[in-house]
Amino acid sequence: MTKTIFIASAEPYSGKSIIALGLVAMLLGKAQKIGYFKPVISPDTPRQQDLHIRTIIEHFQLAIPYEDSFTFTRQEAMQYLKEQRQGEMIDQIISQYKKLESQFDFTVLEGSDFTGQGTAFELETNMLIAKNLNAPAMLVVSGENKTTAQVIQESLNFFHTFRSRDIAVLAVIANKVKPAQADDIRELLTAQLPAGMISAVIPADPALQNPSVKDIRENLGAKLLFGAAYLDNQVDNYVTGAMQVPNFLNYLKENVLIVTPGDRGDIIISSLQANLSSSYPRVAGIVLTAGIEPEEPVLRLIEGLQHVVPIMAVATGTFETITQIGAVKTRITPENSKKIQLAMDAFNQYLDIPALEKGLVTYHSEAITPHMFQYQLSQWTRRALKNIVLPEGDDDRILLAAARLTAQQLVTLTLLGKPADITAAAKRLGIVLDPARVRIIDPANSANYADYVQTLYELRKEKNLTLEMARDLMTDVSYFGTMMVYKGHADGMVSGACHTTQHTIRPALQFIKTKPGISTVSSVFFMCLEDRVSVFGDCAVNPNPTAEELADIAISSADNSSLFGIEPRIAMLSYSSGSSGSGEEVDKVRRATGLVKERRPDLKVEGPIQYDAAVDPVVGRQKMPDSEVAGRASVLIFPDLNTGNNTYKAVQRETGALAIGPMLQGLNKPVNDLSRGCTVDDIFNTVMITAIQAQQS
């Protein structure tokens, strides 16, 4: 059984990093330990580090030291060639790889970069490595600046070269293809490659291919004057600011880099104003040439502005600077999370993932790692496209998560807020909200406002709610968003980035209400530990639940555990195990355990039980040897909010566990709460969970 795959190209800048990132992400959803190995790296000195390796290891936090991820620098490998010691070089590479192979379930190998002389040697070396490691290959061909015929011919030549050496080829991928050529190349590759061979065409994407301002600054060695927060701005075009302002403004295009002498204050100021104007395209940055920096009044004006694009200065003249900018090649770096995500999105969109998974012989582990759990979440989310409403549509974190969710085609979204404010914030963040997947609604100006007001009034008039009060409440984004879910105009809601838990869930309690047979709304966290995912409840809603409420929480948590692929083994936690302890709190847990057994005899439940006896197999066997839950609990129910909240935070901080949640449970329709300190990842994960809940509603 093969435990590796080799990613190979035959030319520089083919974009094989897209394949590497996507492949590692896919494998982390299937196997517990993934290794990464690049036999020959590009840097010529030990003090430099290979960007591909750094990006993969740091982004996915792979458990491999950088120095173990390669064998030779390019300079060292070329020396072996000159000394006719190629066989010895291959032996050392294989030896290094075999050490890694024993530590990982699967290892991704990346071929060399072809960034210097000796490309024929590199191709030969790559094939020797793949053959000696018995590694099937994924071949990557660049379509940049090539005709359709050239792309097809190079792809077939590359394929036949590998097959002539008896190297199994799993896939042939044409990357950076002009969108207009994509369909023809896809059809021709499928027709001319052997039946069953995986082929893919990835269209050129300016967001991946074009450099960032940071890339250009580093290549120019420029001095940064302003805009450090926006160095990741993408540069799609560049223009020289050497004419009068009215003519200059006509040359601005989206994501433009402006190159102008440093004494052209008029160009600088008009460029900044154009970036703020909704009538002009977005400006990526400004490069000031000829070693001149703006005069003091201009500097003072810029210092008083907010959201200033990067402004940097170089000593070279304008023409020389433009030439240098045109030669800049972008590379995906560990710090550029946006491009990393775009690369993985492209991989998932244009490759046949099921066919690839079938073709790969991977290690199957019963353990569920955080990467595996998140991979499963994304797959489950895609089973049925759901619309999720996000009431806090003008929050930067919400917008960044929205762009990521829709780019991966996981959900459609409704953002609540003023359209002009949301559009301006999106432009400032450099994200695009696809109108086909994201709609923006201002509650007070919605076509549904009057209907929602009347519905709320009818639902709550017996609670002394007046029509005027209903009108006021329906301008509140939490009430409006919850009413969308109630009326079926959205499938679920996620809120709380800017609002309290009470503000988020009060409307849901008032008119969405609880499921039949469940009287308690509670919450769970999915605690993604190193080798398993546990369900913790309730850590966010109920301060001091009764025995009946604890039973409700346990049953809801077990059902949601099953929904998310975790076999429920319920531990009703207390400060004593079995019959060893007594007291009001222990008795409450004991009664709750009995209620769970009575109401749901199909569930495995143990209680009262201490935390260590619940999760540690050795302690579990010692304290409760006849229990089918002790030492193997997957659903942990805490006796009160104080214990649950502190425990989940302690586990999260001390172990580095990923805590996904809280997810509210017990409601008729899914409404979930965020922490006000939530990250973009938290929002992303919570929306996926909400969409999966909606699939079951």
Question: pLDDT tens, 257-292?
Answer: 999 999 999 999 999 999 999 899 999 999 999 999
As a whole number of angstroms, the distance between CA 367 and CA 530 comes to 9
Token pair listed for 159: 């394929």
Please give the average per-residue pLDDT across 655-667, as a whole number: 88
674 versus 101: the higher-pLDDT residue is 674
Lowest mean pLDDT among 13-17, 77-81, 588-592: 77-81
Q: How confident is the model at residue 366 (pLDDT cuts 50, 70, 90)?
A: low
For residue 693, pLDDT over 70 is answered with yes
Confidence (pLDDT) at 120: 64
Q: With 90 as the cut, is the pLDDT of residue 140 above it? A: yes
Cα–Cα distances in angstroms (integers) from residue 271 to residues 251, 255, 541, in the given order: 11, 12, 50
Distance between CA 268 and CA 299 in Å, rounded? 10
Are 237 and 250 contacting, i.e. CB atoms less than 8 angstroms apart?
no
pLDDT in tens, 146-160: 999 999 999 999 999
Predicted local distance difference test score (pLDDT) of residue 95: 79
Location of structure tokens 């007001």 = 453
Please list, in sequence order, all residues whose beta carbon lies within 8 angstroms of the beta carbon of residue 314, skipping any fewer than 6 positions away: 220, 221, 222, 223, 287, 288, 289, 291, 321
Dihedral-angle region of residue 651 (phi above 0 means left; psi in -120 to 50 means alpha; beta otherwise)? alpha
Return the pLDDT at 49: 82
Average pLDDT over residues 566-578: 92
Would you state the pLDDT for residue 194?
92
Q: How confident is the model at residue 441, as a pLDDT? A: 96
Residues 465-484: what's their mean pLDDT?
Answer: 94
- All domains of the chain, ordered by start, with CATH? 4-206+338-359 (3.40.50.300), 213-326 (3.40.1390.20), 370-512 (3.40.50.10950), 522-665 (3.40.50.10750)
Q: What is the pLDDT of residues 478-516, one digit of tens each?
A: 999 999 999 999 999 999 989 888 888 899 999 999 888
How high is the pLDDT of residue 568? 95
Give pLDDT, residue 364: 41
Predicted confidence band of residue 318 (pLDDT cuts 50, 70, 90): very high
Single pTM value for the model: 0.73
Average pLDDT over all residues of the chain: 89
Ranges 12-16, 36-40, 483-487: which has the least confidence: 12-16
- Does 372 have pLDDT greater than 80? no
10 Å CB burial of residue 594 (0-12, 13-18, 19+) is: middle
pLDDT at 642 > cutoff 80: yes
pLDDT at 363: 36
Tokens matching residue 312: 């940097």
Q: Which two tokens mark 394? A: 């003008």
pLDDT at residue 117, rounded to an integer: 57
Model confidence at 32, pLDDT cuts 50, 70, 90, reads confident
Question: Percent of the chain scored above 70 by pLDDT?
Answer: 96
pLDDT score recorded for residue 365: 46
Q: Average pLDDT for residues 195-199, to the nearest whole number?
A: 90
Residue 473 CA to residue 480 CA, distance in Å, equals 8
pLDDT confidence of 1, banded at 50, 70, 90?
low
